[in-house]
Amino acid sequence: MSKTIAAISTGAAAGGIGVIRISGDDAVKIASRVFLPLDKSSLAELGGYRAKYGNIIIDGEKADNAVALVFRAPKSYTGEDVVELSVHGGLLMVKNTLEAVLKNGARPAEAGEFTKRAFLNGKVDLTQAEAVAEIISAQGEQSLKASYNALQGALSKRINGVLEEMLDMSAFMAAWVDYPDEEIPELSENEVREKLTKCKDALYSLLSDYENGQTVTKGITTAIVGKPNVGKSSLMNMLTGTDKSIVTHIEGTTRDVVEEDVKLGGLVLHLRDTAGLRSSDDLVETIGIEKAYRALDDAQLVLAVFDSSQELSEYDFNLIEKCSEKRAIAVINKSDLESRLNEEAVKSAFEKTVYVSAVNGTGKDELSNAVEELLGVADFDSSAPMLANARQKQNCESAYSSICEALEALEDGMTFDAINVMIDSAADELLSLTGKKATSEVVNNIFSKFCVGK
Ligand code: GDP
């Protein structure tokens, strides 16, 4: 019997409606102490997927109009009895209702505890639970699509397919080794090789898509660099749609690094608008410039900005040089002005060059296409199964190397029971990936990163 838990499941801001979620064996009993249906019926009699309109009762007084939605185990998010009370979404009302629920027998839910219970009750596996957290934190369309597909079990299905193949093989080999006298048809070396290679290829394909998947779902650290006054801040403002960076005619006004996340096409860029790359005697400015260089070094993508209306200067050449080892796009800004720039010199130094006018807001789509093409994610299919995080990747990598070892052992003519040890260890990694065999430490670590109420 699990203790009944409760938490506010809606955001920590005032809204039209706020939801208090209660889950556990006593969920309905506790809810019926704080919620009275208008028709005076008993909530305890209510079946699953049923709702009642009524009042929240706090200290014997009617406190709000509300709706109680009842789910009956096992057909609920957590797999337990669940009641969701929808009250008016003023923060105080929601908080008071939760307090009343807690006073009547529930305990406050820990971070991610509803989803943890869903996992422990077999409603979702670990990859699906992690997908819930990803959906909540998703910033871009691709990320949302990928997490939704993971929630539907796209990755689980792919992993379980490989796992089934391996467990079959393992059981067969074990039987053959353990009962040599029985009439168990021998699994030929060729069949083992074929099956192992199939599993290896499936894992390899997941691993090789990992980096692109991360770019598409988590976004990419992007530095906007260029000499003072080329329009870095204006470009940042064009991309963010706000006036976050200060735009002025005086050189060196972007003293520090301004950071902002922006959506560009289906991607999210973690943008850093940096101080101009030049030497300076001003101490504050110098600190800004150092940060700019660091931002450029740390960035996964660089947008190197040039002023179309000016000839290339020493600084520009310096920047071109600095960008030569980075994934960088040349952004020729002020394309609305008469061109004085040696465009060919810029174009030949960068894989991609885009013309924009930050003040007129033109060139955004071209920039978006150039970024996707340069990163190799233009045709990325975010609905395909993909590894969502370092934990999943680590399990997948270990399983992959155990399968490679098993294949080598096969080539070296080792016995089936020796090969089976490697197959079992690969299977263990995959079982831990989906959570069927994950340690409680791993499980607790995953759910501790969730928000309360999820
Ligand atoms: P930063 O020092 O590189 O951040 O440059 P700013 O964004 O502060 O821009 C410097 C000046 O260039 C400002 O006066 C902007 O209005 C102007 N500017 C920026 N982008 C454009 C553009 O696309 N066209 C024109 N004509 N002027 C621009």
> Which tens digit of pLDDT belongs to each residue from 377-407?
888 888 899 999 999 999 999 999 999 999 9
Cis peptide before 74 (omega within 30 of 0): yes
Per-residue buried b or exposed e for 335-369, using 16+ beta carbons within 10 Å of the residue's own CB: beeeeebebeebeebbebbbbbbbbeeebbeebbe
Please give the pLDDT value at position 329.
Answer: 98
Segment 82-109 mean pLDDT: 97
pLDDT for 345 beyond 60? yes
Please give the pLDDT value at position 292.
Answer: 64
Please give the pLDDT value at position 255.
Answer: 46
With a 6 A CB cut-off, is 233 part of the ligand 1 pocket?
yes
With a 6 A CB cut-off, is 337 part of the ligand 1 pocket?
yes
pLDDT for 67 beyond 80? yes
Nearest Cα residue to atom 6 of ligand 1: 231
Say which residue, 58 or 11, is predicted with more confidence: 58
Best residue for ligand 1 mutational test, from 224, 225, 227, 229 (most atoms within 8 Å of Cβ) = 229
pLDDT for 250 beyond 80? no
Best residue for ligand 1 mutational test, from 242, 272, 359, 366 (most atoms within 8 Å of Cβ) = 359
Tokens 């299977």 correspond to 427
Residue pair 352/373 in contact by the 8 Å Cβ criterion = yes
What is the SS3 assignment for 235? helix
Q: How long is the chain?
A: 454
Instruction: Give the integer Cα–Cα distance in Å for 170 and 251.
Output: 69
Tell me the CA–centroid distance for residue 331 and ligand 1, in Å: 13
Please give the pLDDT value at position 291.
Answer: 63
Nearest Cα residue to atom 2 of ligand 1: 229
Q: What's the mean pLDDT when you consider all of the chain? A: 89
With a 6 A CB cut-off, is 334 part of the ligand 1 pocket?
yes
Segment 228-248 mean pLDDT: 77
pLDDT for 144 beyond 80? yes
With a 6 A CB cut-off, is 338 part of the ligand 1 pocket?
no
Tell me the CA–centroid distance for residue 231 and ligand 1, in Å: 4
Segment 263-278 mean pLDDT: 75
> Which tens digit of pLDDT belongs to each residue from 153-192?
999 999 999 999 999 888 888 877 777 666 666 678 888 9
With a 6 A CB cut-off, is 331 part of the ligand 1 pocket?
no
Please give the pLDDT value at position 347.
Answer: 96
Please give the pLDDT value at position 441.
Answer: 87
| Residue 442 pLDDT class (50, 70, 90 cuts) | confident
Tell me the CA–centroid distance for residue 384 and ligand 1, in Å: 41
pLDDT for 88 beyond 90? yes
Q: Which token pair is 274?
A: 């940096």
pLDDT for 72 beyond 90? yes
| Residue 140 pLDDT class (50, 70, 90 cuts) | confident
Tell me the CA–centroid distance for residue 230 and ligand 1, in Å: 6
With a 6 A CB cut-off, is 231 part of the ligand 1 pocket?
yes
What is the SS3 assignment for 337? coil
Please give the pLDDT value at position 452.
Answer: 80
**Which of 77, 161, 92, 111 minimizes the C-alpha distance to 7?**
111
Nearest Cα residue to atom 17 of ligand 1: 231
CA angle, corner 205, sides to 134 and 417, nearest 5? Answer: 110
Write down the pTM of the prediction: 0.81
Say which residue, 64 or 295, is predicted with more confidence: 64
Instruction: Give the integer Cα–Cα distance in Å for 412 and 395.
Output: 26
pLDDT for 249 beyond 60? no
